[in-house]
Chain A
């Protein structure tokens, strides 16, 4: 499905052509551009929003997901106006971490936050965000790991030596700390950072009325209220350009936790053929419409392992832009697999959007695993555990990129020449 729209770039000129025709000009045809707008500085405003940067590939405005490794996997970051869907792992241990990273990144970059949950009070969620790391302490953590892995990697990279550079997924703390920060999970975010940030909370048990009527309308009442809340915030705070903001333009980061679980009033996890089966898909459709017309980015965690009807999962994936699935090894047979002994789970990049593009930006290596260390959540390729045989197998799929078979072709032609 072609991605429509330009994700709320905000370069719509404020004046119409007729209005811009000043008396000096002969014709009324003016180039619509940043010059036509009035006091605003024009498209240079885009880059000057804190915590964002344009994509190097297609110029899309990106925000960081809070985890620089994930940013790299998604092609630089999460595009403004899109939805990042996280498929929760079975016991919901690791997906809240990604959720918290996203929100913490918003606070550190100075974005506005909107946190919606049916399980936990948003104020509590904000209290538990991880603390941002200063550059030096992260480097120390990184070096410790590099030393422990160095001896192994030298031995093993005999055949797949071109992959030596590959496992270094996190390129270290970005020198200019404007895009992508590192966080320490063991510490909580300082209170003053939360207080200086602008956040809105939506806690479903408070908002929903005491009557538990199942309304006959197509959207569950919880979803309807959430959509209205988001729409109000976007309109009032001016994220869609409707009320011209006096201050600098800012990004709204929306985080919705456990969407689709029974706590939202949706029985998509309870039965296979439910009456409100289209409620979730309609919600996502309307939400994406809201996001496309405003400067916002959204993260949603969804317990897809509980959804009974697999067709719904496929629809939900199609309606989201970026989909990342987490699979933890707890309780599964992969826990004892020696290949995965260093890791806590696998991370699957299920979908990446093609925004104003014809091709995807994802890397070819698909074996990604994550590990929750004491302070950090890291994503790595599982390449290190491969033996020589595994490296050969990996290489055979990639050989077309590296080998130049010039000579054997010529030799065959040579033989032909000799015969004739």
Chain B
């Protein structure tokens, strides 16, 4: 794939990646690590959904509000409803603008707000919440949050609730990671090579097989997404299909191939338990009136059919 082809293909999908991440609804898990941070992708998704006219709620735990709002222009900032847990997580200061009750109450307050229309909730970050809440409680709350629509069946895409959760996967063991992955409808794992970030996206649509794709991207300073072509890996050459594969059976001292005559001879050989087809049928489907089982014996070439019982010779 030449770079220009990749970019051309990519440009047709510049919006598609963010849209597809947001389209499925439910819980979108962004797993990042120290090398490939995910907050910029989270902010890109927040910006995208704000531009689409949705309500966006942000629960900020790790960075301050000013830092989170940095880089957004005023129209987006006016759409963001920020719930701040960073400044005073244990609510030591007197009640004012601070959310009482800690993170659990904050989450449940998000759950209870009566909003109409599509809503996006961004949790920055789930790792902080996992350290302050027991994992099953967090899972139950997330599940309640992302399944707010009480009407059964398929909801129209405009009425969905989206929960974007940022998770630093190096901070947790396999247990919480597995538990949250099983809850998520979309899971994005950030990685990359040679300075180029990539997202491995796993879509788990209900009742369908999960699909995954890998996208190379970069985030611009104004938090819009730009798709990149896959960088050519020069350091690790992949298996080149042009070199002919070496046939290991060419230079052996014994013969592994069968010629046509030999193959025919092999096929014509009667194997010891390969009976004639009538006998096979008779064995497979016992006829009527055969109450006991029979022993079918076909003598081979070296047998002598001597009927006398050799036990007669014994002096017992």
Contact = CB atoms under 8 A, between A and B. Distances in A.
A243 interface: no
Contact of B135 (A267, A305, A402): A267
B284 A162 contact: yes
A162 B283 contact: yes
Interface in B274-315: 274, 280, 283-284, 295, 297, 299, 303-304, 306, 310-311, 313
A145 interface: no
B144 A270 contact: no
Contacts, number: 109
A413 interface: yes
Given A91-B204, A93-B209, A158 B274 contact: yes
B182 A92 contact: yes
A362 interface: no
Given A119-B143, A407-B303, A269 B297 contact: no
Given A159-B274, A404-B297, A417-B313, A121 B152 contact: yes
B209 A407 contact: no
Interface stretch (A19-27, A104-112, A257-265, A287-295): A257-265
Interface in B179-229: 179, 182-183, 204, 207-210, 212
A270 B135 CA distance: 7
Contact of B136 (A162, A266, A303, A414): A266
B134 interface: yes
Contacts of B141: 212
A306 B134 contact: no
A269 B104 contact: no
Contacts of B274: 158-159, 161
B99 interface: no
Interface in A70-85: none
B174 interface: yes
Given A164-B284, A212-B104, A272-B175, A407 B299 contact: yes
Nearest to A121: B152
Contacts of A271: 135, 173, 175
Contact of A269 (B178, B204, B271): B178
Contacts of B18: none
A306 B176 CA distance: 9
A151 B306 CA distance: 43
B299 A261 contact: no
B280 A161 contact: yes
A201 interface: no
Interface residues of B, number: 42
A17 interface: no
Contacts of A57: none
Interface string A266-298: 110111100000000000000000000000000
A269 B179 contact: yes
Contacts of B139: 261-263
A262 B135 contact: yes
Contacts of B153: 124, 127
Interface string B228-249: 0000000000000000000000
Interface in B104-159: 104, 134-141, 143-144, 152-153
A330 interface: yes
A37 interface: no
Contacts of B92: none
Contacts of A407: 297, 299, 303
A308 interface: yes
Interface residues on A, range: 35 or more
A164 to B, nearest CB: 7
A403 interface: yes
Nearest to A272: B175
A165 B284 contact: yes
Contacts of A410: 306, 310
Interface string A376-412: 0000000000000000000000000011101100110
Contacts of B295: 404, 406
A411 B303 contact: yes
A374 to B, nearest CB: 13
B70 to A, nearest CB: 34
B277 to A, nearest CB: 9
B310 A306 contact: no
A272 B212 CA distance: 29
A277 to B, nearest CB: 12
Nearest to B309: A410
A413 to B, nearest CB: 4
B128 to A, nearest CB: 16
A238 B157 CA distance: 45
Contacts of B254: none
A52 B206 CA distance: 33
27 contacts: A91-B204, A91-B210, A96-B207, A119-B143, A121-B152, A205-B143, A212-B140, A212-B141, A214-B137, A262-B138, A263-B136, A263-B143, A265-B140, A266-B136, A267-B134, A267-B136, A269-B178, A269-B179, A271-B135, A306-B178, A306-B182, A402-B273, A406-B295, A407-B297, A410-B310, A411-B304, A413-B311
Given A267-B134, A406-B297, 19 more contacts: A118-B143, A162-B284, A205-B143, A205-B144, A262-B135, A263-B136, A263-B140, A263-B183, A270-B136, A270-B175, A270-B176, A271-B173, A271-B175, A272-B175, A306-B175, A403-B273, A410-B310, A413-B310, A414-B310
What 7 pairs between A and B have smallest CB-CB spacing? A262-B139, A270-B135, A413-B310, A262-B136, A270-B175, A306-B178, A124-B152
